[in-house]
Amino acid sequence: MIIVLKPEPDPDQLSNLMEWLKSLNLKINVSEGENSTILGLIGDTSVVDIELLRALDIVDAVKRVQEPYKNANRKFHPDDTVFTVRGVPIGNGTFNVIAGPCSIETEEQICAVAAAVKASGATLLRGGAFKPRTSPYAFQGLRQNGLKLLLEARDRTNLPVVTEIMDLSHIPLFEDVDVIQIGARNMQNFELLKEIGHLHKPVLLKRGLANSLKELLMSVEYIMSGGNDKIILCERGIRTFETATRNTLDLSAVPVLKKLTHLPVFIDPSHATGIAALVPPMAVAAAACGADGLMIEVHNDPPHALCDGAQSLTPEAFDGVMRAIEKVRPFAVRYDHGTPVMP
Amino acid sequence: MIIVLKPEPDPDQLSNLMEWLKSLNLKINVSEGENSTILGLIGDTSVVDIELLRALDIVDAVKRVQEPYKNANRKFHPDDTVFTVRGVPIGNGTFNVIAGPCSIETEEQICAVAAAVKASGATLLRGGAFKPRTSPYAFQGLRQNGLKLLLEARDRTNLPVVTEIMDLSHIPLFEDVDVIQIGARNMQNFELLKEIGHLHKPVLLKRGLANSLKELLMSVEYIMSGGNDKIILCERGIRTFETATRNTLDLSAVPVLKKLTHLPVFIDPSHATGIAALVPPMAVAAAACGADGLMIEVHNDPPHALCDGAQSLTPEAFDGVMRAIEKVRPFAVRYDHGTPVMP
Amino acid sequence: MIIVLKPEPDPDQLSNLMEWLKSLNLKINVSEGENSTILGLIGDTSVVDIELLRALDIVDAVKRVQEPYKNANRKFHPDDTVFTVRGVPIGNGTFNVIAGPCSIETEEQICAVAAAVKASGATLLRGGAFKPRTSPYAFQGLRQNGLKLLLEARDRTNLPVVTEIMDLSHIPLFEDVDVIQIGARNMQNFELLKEIGHLHKPVLLKRGLANSLKELLMSVEYIMSGGNDKIILCERGIRTFETATRNTLDLSAVPVLKKLTHLPVFIDPSHATGIAALVPPMAVAAAACGADGLMIEVHNDPPHALCDGAQSLTPEAFDGVMRAIEKVRPFAVRYDHGTPVMP
Amino acid sequence: MIIVLKPEPDPDQLSNLMEWLKSLNLKINVSEGENSTILGLIGDTSVVDIELLRALDIVDAVKRVQEPYKNANRKFHPDDTVFTVRGVPIGNGTFNVIAGPCSIETEEQICAVAAAVKASGATLLRGGAFKPRTSPYAFQGLRQNGLKLLLEARDRTNLPVVTEIMDLSHIPLFEDVDVIQIGARNMQNFELLKEIGHLHKPVLLKRGLANSLKELLMSVEYIMSGGNDKIILCERGIRTFETATRNTLDLSAVPVLKKLTHLPVFIDPSHATGIAALVPPMAVAAAACGADGLMIEVHNDPPHALCDGAQSLTPEAFDGVMRAIEKVRPFAVRYDHGTPVMP
């Protein structure tokens, strides 16, 4: 961390600052320039509150040299994280597709979609039981009953299941779920992140609509500092001024995150674009640039889906995507400890 | 609601669509154009899932004519909402300033700040007990103990208190709090909104960093549809590309919200700018354009604040702001049923 | 176009409006609803100023049903545009890579890079002679001399050349250039667009940093309405809050533009990401999702490039990208009249 | 400027870097840390290309300590810039309102509006002769004839005139114009900025829709480095995800720019909001927080304006705004060498 002092700092205040920094077990390198003095802090600066420093009268600017996240940082954990979900390996060269409907509606629906996506090659099943909807008048999900139907579909297909949690009080209901999804709107629900950090269950953490990749990794830090290191990161579009798509898919997140962290990186082209016809090309692009997996909405009857029908693929369209990915995957970009390797 | 059909729609699908719309108690006006047929839906369209319509094969576009929110809509409730918090009236021509520290730190600190801001004219006291922090290594608040200290400060000053809730499981802890704050990161925590909707306690709802004003009103709808209509809206900056300020204060939210809704509109210049020196001019601007109140961070020792010291005013600086507002207020823009009236 | 009237419109104003619309050769369908009356306009509404309508006292909202661009609209020109540049075909199933340095620096440099990128498979040569730089103290390009060196490199390699124009007064200098590039900052330099529209020379039009895809097509309309229809569209990143990359590459622009227009769509991963290590994965992703071509910065000595060295590939790295694309291309998404077709 | 080196840098490359920096007349302070070595550059670093440094193999990060703009920097020119336009003083405690129609349409129109706004207290007249319009089918302005009519209105009212230039080839036409406006879309038209820099005529420079305030000051640097230092900065809204207003007015730009630069800062609430009803409250807010002036669109018949009628005030509404500002101004925030002073 670098602290740039204002010209001619008050000596008492400077001495107080130096004392305080030393009390945090930091070493200080002083570099006197023509217009300003610079303090270089050496040691573990992740405990320093950067805003507090900025507020000091004698400080002009503070800049971090190192990232404020540690557990998720590839610098300190160079090897890719790999873990299994009911026997399905995730991370480091594997490629998994999580598919299923936005909402679980009926036993017939979720089981039919599960069978279809499995036949096409999906390795995990998604389905929403608790649904975050902008309008209180929209369908809110089947909740507990939805979870039961999802587990029923798992029993029939043996696909591990991924489903979203909306509040930490629901954690007990998710005991049998294989991967707990934390949605974009909850990426900075820190109370929830802390609780999830104490579980030993894989988590799929979606990037918030207005959150930077560094903030995503800070949210990971909440989970990992609790002891849970089985985390899948998922980019699902950010909010921009463009209205041709529901959000703007930030596909560069794949190589950026691969460099910054050792965790697996998935892409959700369904929520990112919001338009079914755009999902297949973006799914292929994500696979080609080396994402570790995809999350895709599939519904057996999109026009009558109770939510997000507009972005759901039919099982037939999904099968087309899976066939395309099968062809592209052998020639996809790979990553060696975060560095892209051309096919 | 207007549905634009694609050219030459399949007659069976069209007939199914018409049946379904009629089953929702909507009347349909058909308007045949040269290139496209348009259906105008008449009745209560807030129950229609617009995404579902968009997904239909025969539909080219769907446009809302009316807003999807009802309880918060000024069209249906032309008069301004006014309510009292421990005897303090809020809304419709009143002007209230909520002031206090970002975090409650000690009894001395919160009581000293409370006394100071009261002396300067603040009418409500803020103070964070549960703190949403980007980093798990930053100070997380005194939690229950913080709430106790806040109530102690209320006892001494008689200022009603406003403090942020971070999870619905904490609701019982907030029983004695006067106004529950829902922070920007929880604006779309729908489970929390629903629970808060069943309370009879005033709520301060902050706009999310990436949320439109219409989405803010949809979140209001979650609370109001539960029966709770004592809601203060608070603009606190949105996320943009500009980095000179922490967020971008969207002050136009004042006249826009005044037109769309009958609820009181507050501005938080501290979080919006993130820089103490910018708070006074933006506070004056907010008062001048007719906001119903302000939320301002004040700390007796900003450089040593445990969070957000960089944006906190000293009690002296806060007093200067209050004196300025006192002078500007008589000449501020007012709103008559949402229409701006020049002084 | 649909006009939603306010409740109980003034009859005289309504009658004036109807007269005026008829004078524009538009037919009007009136649809009376419970709360509002809707006028559907039939005919060529691209001449109607939508803002003017919105300003009328009796009008509540105006919504376009049809796009305001015609020449670039795939609805009216379903077949892909194809044209040749010095014999190199562009568009509809072809794939071209435009490569070269950000700035032309010396004859040795531009000729060496040209030879290298040609050997790797580039089909057009780029090189900046006039450089838009944020700072007046940064290198501004060799200007006329740069153009000469670029043409010299073309003579040696026979690669057609693409270079950016910065002002319409420079048009005569670009007479021998094969493709005139209009940069992101000039996407809405309408005087320049009009002049370029009167030339018979291919144009590469970059999307502005804050411009929607529809605005890009409106800028195309400026060029095409002058008679010039040889236009390559180029997505090069938009400005968002994310700072991990210089801009955010909006790769969904490929399928979106393919649907909306018949013009070829290129991707520039160098400017979009601003970081050399991110260019190869994004180039592969762009090829995989069916872009018609790429624009990539290559420099023989990136660390000593006079501009944008941070985003330039070495000739070796560029060769790796070209080999990767060669492998991926047979399995890339294709478009049939704008509809994605899986491989 | 601070250069953070990667761990264990190659000694030859490091030595080359040090040589090169010294050749730029910079002194170098070396600070060796535990994980990284930091070079502090002392001297005039505005000539250093920061991107070039970032591209070096041995460099991890480069951070500026000082702003890259000099002429516009308040640090080097602490006193406010003041200049006169046809005898009207601008800057440092003065307050000027530039008012008039979006487009000049007829002699009657521009002269009537000019007389009206003067009567209400406007001190400069605006009117567009060359109009940047998104659509080529929209009204493009009267061009040369428009300039003539504008000068005619000046003759009758003695109000100095402000009008937008769209291309540098038009400069001779603007000889009699008092203030040349550079629009948002041309903020980074560097060829135009350079030419304008060689004139001795006041300039009103609008912030681009996607440009940061620092970029605005870099564009100022283009003009000032040519010798022209009579520049008015104008904030007119930035592009964000919010659609309730046409753009998002960034009013914090007033105190931010006041701190960074000595130039006068104006606000254009008409273009920022795009909605006439929002202009008065935002005009009052801008005056209250200490802007040096306003630019407001006024039309004698907004519903029939040939452009941007939706955002134009009637002369009556404009008069109401001027009366309100008259009352608020004595209690507005002032700035003492960039520091806000409460009334």
DSSP code string of D42-88 = ES-GGGS-HHHHHTSTTEEEEE-SS-S--TTBTTT--SPP-EEETTE
In the numeric block, the tokens 């009207």 are attached to: D88
> Could you tell me if C35 lies within 8 Å of chain D, comparing CB atoms?
no
> Could you tell me if A259 lies within 8 Å of chain C, comparing CB atoms?
yes
Q: Which fold has domain C2-63?
A: Alpha-Beta Plaits (3.30.70)
Contact C2 B63 (CB under 8 A): yes
Share above pLDDT 70 across residues of chain A, in percent, rounded to a whole number? 98
What are the backbone angles phi and psi of residue D181, rounded to the nearest 5°?
-95, 130
Q: What's C121's DSSP letter?
A: T
> What pLDDT is stored for residue C137 in this prediction?
82
Cβ D81 vs Cβ D203: under 8 Å: no
Contact D134 C47 (CB under 8 A): no
Give the bridge partners for A99, in sequence order.
A125, A296
**Does residue D185 register a pLDDT over 70?**
yes
Token pair, residue B310, equals 């960089």
**Does residue A122 register a pLDDT over 90?**
yes
Q: How far is CA A225 from the centre of its chain?
A: 16
- Sign of the Cα pseudo-torsion (C45, C50, C56, C60, in order): positive
- CATH 3.20.20.70 intervals, chain B: 83-341
Residue A80 C-alpha, separation from nearest chain D C-alpha, in angstroms: 22
Residues of A in contact with D60 (CB under 8 A): 65
> Could you tell me if D71 lies within 8 Å of chain C, comparing CB atoms?
no
Residue B88 C-alpha, separation from nearest chain A C-alpha, in angstroms: 31
pLDDT in tens, chain C (343 residues): 888 888 788 888 888 888 888 888 888 877 776 666 778 787 777 767 777 787 777 888 787 777 888 899 998 899 999 999 999 999 988 999 999 999 999 999 999 999 999 999 999 999 999 998 888 888 889 999 999 999 999 999 999 999 999 999 999 999 999 999 999 999 999 999 999 999 999 999 999 999 999 999 999 999 999 999 999 999 999 999 999 999 999 999 999 999 999 999 999 999 999 999 999 999 999 999 999 999 999 999 887 777 777 889 999 999 999 999 999 999 999 999 999 999 8
CA distance C39 to C28: 6
Which of D38, D43, D241 lies closest to A34 in CB terms?
A: D43
Q: Name the pLDDT band for D163 (thresholds 50, 70, 90).
A: very high
**Does residue A275 register a pLDDT over 80?**
yes
Q: In chain D, what's the furthest Cα-to-Cα distance?
A: 75
Residues of A in contact with C328 (CB under 8 A): 288, 328, 331-332, 343
Residue C308 C-alpha, separation from nearest chain D C-alpha, in angstroms: 6
- CATH 3.20.20.70 intervals, chain A: 83-337
Token pair, residue C289, equals 């999702």
> Could you tell me if C114 lies within 8 Å of chain A, comparing CB atoms?
no
Q: How far is the CA of C183 from the CAs of A171, B261, C132, C227, in angstroms?
A: 52, 43, 9, 20
Contact C190 D135 (CB under 8 A): no
User: Among the CATH numbers 3.40.140.10, 3.20.20.70, 3.50.50.60, 3.30.450.40, which is that of A83-337?
Assistant: 3.20.20.70
Contact D289 B288 (CB under 8 A): yes
Contact A289 C281 (CB under 8 A): yes
- Sign of the Cα pseudo-torsion (C96, C101, C107, C108, in order): negative
Q: How far is CA B277 from the centre of its chain?
A: 24
The arithmetic mean of pLDDT across residues B27-52, rounded, is 75
Contact D243 B324 (CB under 8 A): no
Residues 138 through 177 of chain A touching chain C, CB cutoff 8 Å: none
CA distance B2 to B28: 10
Which of C138, C239, C302 lies closest to D49 in CB terms?
A: C138
Cβ D180 vs Cβ D135: under 8 Å: no
> Could you tell me if C36 lies within 8 Å of chain B, comparing CB atoms?
yes
> What is chain C's mean pLDDT, rounded?
92
Nearest partner of A294 among A127, A98, A121, A101, judged by Cα: A98
Long-range contacts of B90-95 (CB under 8 A, 24+ apart): B90/B202, B90/B232, B90/B264, B90/B292, B90/B293, B91/B263, B91/B264, B91/B292, B92/B264, B92/B292, B93/B334, B94/B292, B94/B293, B95/B287, B95/B291, B95/B292, B95/B293, B95/B325, B95/B329
Give the Cα-Cα-Cα angle D51, D57, D59 (nearest 5 degrees): 60
**What is the CB neighbour count within 10 angstroms for residue C165?**
24
Q: How far is the CA of C73 from the CAs of A244, C84, C292, C340, in angstroms?
A: 15, 21, 18, 17
Strand boundaries in chain A, DSSP class E: 2-5, 27-32, 37-42, 59-63, 83-85, 88-90, 96-100, 124-126, 161-165, 179-182, 203-206, 231-235, 265-267, 293-297, 334-336, 339-341
Q: By three-state DSSP, how is residue B304 classified? A: helix
CA distance B131 to B101: 12
Q: How far is the CA of B294 from the CAs of B96, B231, B285, B322, in angstroms?
A: 6, 14, 11, 11
What are the backbone angles phi and psi of residue C161, rounded to the nearest 5°?
-115, 145
Q: How many CA atoms lie within 13 A of D338 on its CB side?
A: 18
CA distance A209 to C248: 14
Cβ density class A164-186: b for 16+ within 10 Å, e for less: bbbbbebbebbeebbbbbbbbbb
Nearest partner of B109 among B140, B162, B143, B152, judged by Cα: B152
> What pLDDT is stored for residue D320 in this prediction?
98
CA distance D144 to D172: 11
Contact D2 A63 (CB under 8 A): yes
Residues of C in contact with B4 (CB under 8 A): 65
Q: Which fold has domain D83-341?
A: TIM Barrel (3.20.20)
Residues 47 through 66 of chain D touching chain A, CB cutoff 8 Å: 60-61, 63, 65-66
Contact C63 B2 (CB under 8 A): yes
Give the bridge partners for A339, in sequence order.
A336
Residues of C in contact with B33 (CB under 8 A): 29, 40, 42
> What pLDDT is stored for residue A33 in this prediction?
65
How many inter-chain contacts (B to C, CB under 8 Å) are there? 54
Cβ B329 vs Cβ B321: under 8 Å: no
The arithmetic mean of pLDDT across residues A178-182, rounded, is 98
Q: How many CA atoms lie within 13 A of B176 on its CB side?
A: 13
Please state which of the ranges A16-25, A110-119, C155-164, D84-93 shows the lowest mean pLDDT.
A16-25
> Could you tell me if B282 lies within 8 Å of chain D, comparing CB atoms?
yes
- Reported pTM: 0.91
